[in-house]
């Protein structure tokens, strides 16, 4: 009997936790849909122009950063070429060397100084908005002419104001903020992939190829026509 009661108690706690997450997700959809679309447009433009998307974060946000970078460098849902996406914390030698020599607050910004280019995108993730290393990365990204997408929670409004596009989970509890970040990240991964490699993109590319081929054929035909006419006149 004791085992049955304990199991029921655990199930009740799980159910309550899942309900809380579902309510937080419903609030997220209402609050951030337009902003996630802006982020997706910025990332799509970056990839289309040959740029790189960098991700950074600490702790759970580092895991989220690496997760989302992998969705681009590998794939999300569509079979396609890999896309240039980098999680800045993943190079442990760089992180530890920079942290040791310059201070941990520069572990992301210094890497951006060496790799970032105008037109690239930084996705900067901090649940609280107070991470010094992430804020420093935002400053470096802006100095380089990059676009910054900031992901934070309800406590990070000041951080959000530093970013070009702010994806703010409207919740103060860290687990729900992190859940929101992955949901938003998956959403922009899907939109970017569809925009670059989905059926609409493939149809548009095929149409552009057809138009170019038609123009080349038309030019070749117009060049040959006078020559044929000239030969007939001489005969």
Domain containing 92 — which CATH number? 3.40.50.10490
In a domain, 13, yes or no: no
CA distance 76 to 69: 10
The residues, any chain, with a CB within 8 Å of residue 128's CB and separated by 6 or more, are 152, 153, 155, 156, 174
pLDDT along the chain (235 residues), means of 10: 63 94 93 97 98 98 98 97 98 98 98 98 97 98 98 97 98 96 98 93 66 61 54 46
pLDDT for 204: 65
Number of domains in the chain: 1
The pLDDT score that the predictor gives to residue 7 is 64
Report yes or no on 140 lying in a domain.
yes
| Residue 164 located in a structural domain | yes
Rounded Cα distance between 11 and 13, Å, is: 5
What pLDDT shows up at residue 234?
46
**Dist. CA 65–CA 87, nearest whole Å:** 6
Instruction: Answer yes or no: is 8 within a domain.
Output: no
pLDDT of residue 199: 84
Does residue 221 belong to any structural domain of this protein? Answer: no
Using the structure block, give the residue that is written with the tokens 């942290």: 99
What residue numbers bound the domain in which 134 lies? Answer: 33-198
* Beta-sheet pairing, 165-168 with 53-56: unpaired
**DSSP string covering 149-170, please?**
EEEE-GGGHHHHTTSSEEEE-S
pLDDT at 40: 98
Contacts of 138 (CB under 8 A, 6+ apart): 122, 124, 148, 150, 159, 162, 163
For residues 72 and 196, the answer to whether their CB atoms sit within 8 Å is: no
């Amino acid at each position: 009997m004791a085992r049955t009661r304990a199991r029921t108690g655990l199930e009740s706690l799980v159910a309550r936790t899942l309900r809380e997450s579902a309510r937080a997700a419903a609030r997220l959809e209402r609050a951030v849909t337009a902003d996630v679309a802006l982020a997706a447009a910025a990332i799509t433009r970056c990839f289309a122009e040959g740029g790189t998307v960098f991700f950074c974060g600490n702790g759970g946000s580092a895991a989220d950063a690496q997760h989302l970078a992998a969705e681009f460098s590998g794939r999300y849902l569509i079979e396609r070429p890999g896309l240039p996406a980098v999680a800045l914390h993943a190079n442990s030698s760089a992180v530890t060397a920079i942290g040791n020599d310059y201070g941990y607050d520069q572990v992301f910004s210094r890497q951006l100084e060496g790799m970032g280019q105008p037109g690239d995108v930084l996705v900067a993730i901090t649940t609280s908005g107070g991470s010094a290393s992430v804020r420093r990365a935002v400053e470096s990204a802006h100095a380089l002419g990059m676009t910054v997408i900031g992901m934070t929670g309800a406590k990070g409004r000041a951080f959000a104001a530093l970013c070009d596009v702010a994806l703010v989970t409207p919740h103060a509890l860290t687990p729900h903020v992190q859940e929101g970040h992955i949901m938003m990240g998956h959403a922009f991964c899907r939109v970017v992939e569809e925009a670059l490699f989905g059926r609409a993109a493939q149809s548009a590319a095929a149409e552009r190829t057809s138009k170019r081929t038609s123009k080349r054929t038309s030019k070749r035909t117009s060049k040959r026509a006078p020559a044929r006419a000239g030969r007939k006149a001489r005969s």
